[in-house]
Structure 1
Amino acid sequence: MADLVDRARAAVSERAELPGMTLLEHLEELRKRIIRAAIYLVLGFFVAYGLHERIYGYMEKPIIFALQRHHLPTQLNYHNPIDGFNLYLKISFMAGCILASPFVLYEVWKFISPGLYQHEKRYVTPFMISTVGLFLAGAYFGYHWVFPGSLDFLFTFNKDFNPLIEINEYTDLFLTVILGLGITFELPILVMFLALFGIVNAKFLLKNIRYAVLIIFIIAAIITPTPDVLTMCVFATPMLVLYLISIGVAYMVHPARRKRKAGAA
């Protein structure tokens, strides 16, 4: 922990040469970026709400296919007349956040860009593409492989019982798996920022890989919808691969290496 603090202090002192902003200027800039991000989220919500039935149709496909495979009734249930309305609001908000995420991320980048060197600001395009791409890759992986496989396992495990599937509970399970995998696929982006500011480096990540493996399996156990070890390993495997990729990312963007590269040039 002390090592991380020292690195963070070194990163701050290293950037002291950059053009500074007063506290009020930082707060004003933050307020402006937050307002713009909020506008994007509201617009994303209304666009998603206009497509809420189609969005839920995609969400419903995995459970319908799983029920059909096990020769079970495909009609989902609700307990309260307002459940359907609340459900559409929830999925519209989630989908709206995803639609607005590139624009929100751009505002985040614009807020932190004054603290970057001029040559570092060219990372904005790779940052945007990789952030959105990794999230979509995680969501796609969950939607097409992990979630259907988990449902099939659960229905096989519970074959002696009659399912009464409630729409809100199913939606919560769907969002936990899909969003959970989408967010965990962002690990290289998180490491990139930590390494960019000199807080971690490839050597530190490689040295502590055994702790990373433990944390990854704990996270996989939390977001895995089934109790079997196999499904947990399916969740954990891509996260382990992403951690190894993150080590390479940390090596590429760490300030010490970029300084050596700039000096050689």
Structure 2
Amino acid sequence: MQLAEHLRELRTRLLVCVGALLVTTVLGWLAHDQVLQLLSDPACSIKGIHGVGQPGPGCPNGLLVNQGILAPLSLSFKISMTVGLVLASPVWSYQVWAFVAPGLYKHEKRFGLGFTAAAVPLFCLGGYLAYWVFPKALAVLAGLNPGSFSLALPGDEFLSFFLRMVLVFGISFELPVLLVALNLIGVLSAARLRRWWRAIVMLIFVFSAVATPTGDPLTMTVLAAPICLLFFGALAVATLHDRRKAQRAADSDSALDPDTASQI
């Protein structure tokens, strides 16, 4: 294809992505009250915390507040956009793949689909773990508030805090996919990973301490422990791949006749 044809195809696929995002954002707007209730329940159920907001049946401790006349609209729109981005992910991810796939070889397409099939569940697993640890992290931080002070958590800050945890946990769970990919293309061997495992585990804990929004030992450990398990799982896959590769090379060498010239 000519450059202009590539640009026209890119424009068409971007329009499809934007259209799908608009439709799913409207659906997110219709359901944003339920989503907000699902997100705010962990913060509003923390005991022993007095917020500056008006306590009510939705948030008994009054911890969550909106500051400014446009804050409720902004919060609702951000939640709708987030829900729309998640619901539209099958559409925009397929459009990205359909644009890139024609330029790949058959084995590259196979590897790409395999890595995608592994990366999506791992990201979802990390996001679920973030949602599980989210109320515990909030309770730890809110517990540091002095008893003589009230505590207020603005809606925008609350949503950003939650989304950051989901992204950090989800992206961190992609480490084994990256390691296996580097091993398959011959950049990183299993022997080297075995030599570096102590340093890698140390770096995982350092990354968890820096990347988590709370920085408390509980959240750091909850993130670091599964990543360490996933690292050792990736190490096992890399070891099996290297052994099979060495075995194939040995079988190929043994099948050669020393008296026969090899083809150029």
Q: TM-score range by the shorter chain?
A: 0.7 to 0.9
Larger Cα Rg: Structure 1 or Structure 2?
A: 2
Distance 1:233 1:187 in 2: 16
Asked if 1:172 is matched to 2:160, the reply is: yes
**Alignment counterpart, residue 70 of structure 1, candidates 48, 68, 73:** 48
Distance 1:148 1:233 in 2: 15
1:155-195 CA distances to partner (integer Å, 9 max, x unpaired)?
Answer: 22224232122111111111111222122222333345444
Distance 1:214 1:115, change over 3 A: farther
Asked if 1:131 is matched to 2:119, the reply is: yes
1:5-44 aligned at under 5 Å gives the runs 30-44=10-24
- The question of whether the paired residues in 2 share the 8 Å contact of 1:176 and 1:223 is answered with no
| Structure 1 residue 141: Cα displacement | 1.0
Question: Unpaired segments of 5 or more residues in structure 1?
Answer: 1-20
| Structure 1 residue 28: Cα displacement | 5.8
Higher helix share: 1
Paired position in structure 1 for 2:40: 60
Aligned partner letter, 1:58: L
1:71-128 CA distances to partner (integer Å, 9 max, x unpaired)?
Answer: 5353321211111111112122222222222333333333443454435545566545
Q: Which moved more, 1:242-251 or 1:57-66?
A: 242-251
Asked if 1:45 is matched to 2:25, the reply is: yes
After TM superposition, the score normalised by the length of structure 1 is: 0.72
Aligned partner letter, 1:155: A
Q: Secondary structure at the match of 1:157?
A: coil
Asked if 1:217 is matched to 2:205, the reply is: yes
After TM superposition, the score normalised by the length of structure 2 is: 0.73
| Structure 1 residue 206: Cα displacement | 3.7
Question: Unpaired segments of 5 or more residues in structure 2?
Answer: 51-59, 253-264
**Alignment counterpart, residue 145 of structure 2, candidates 120, 137, 158:** 158
Q: Secondary structure at the match of 2:61?
A: coil
Aligned residues: 239
Please tell me the root mean square deviation across aligned C-alpha atoms, in Å.
3.5
Distance 1:173 1:250, change over 3 A: same
Q: Secondary structure at the match of 1:91?
A: helix
Q: Which has the higher contact order (CA 8 A, sep 6+)?
A: 1
Distance 2:108 2:145 in 1: 54
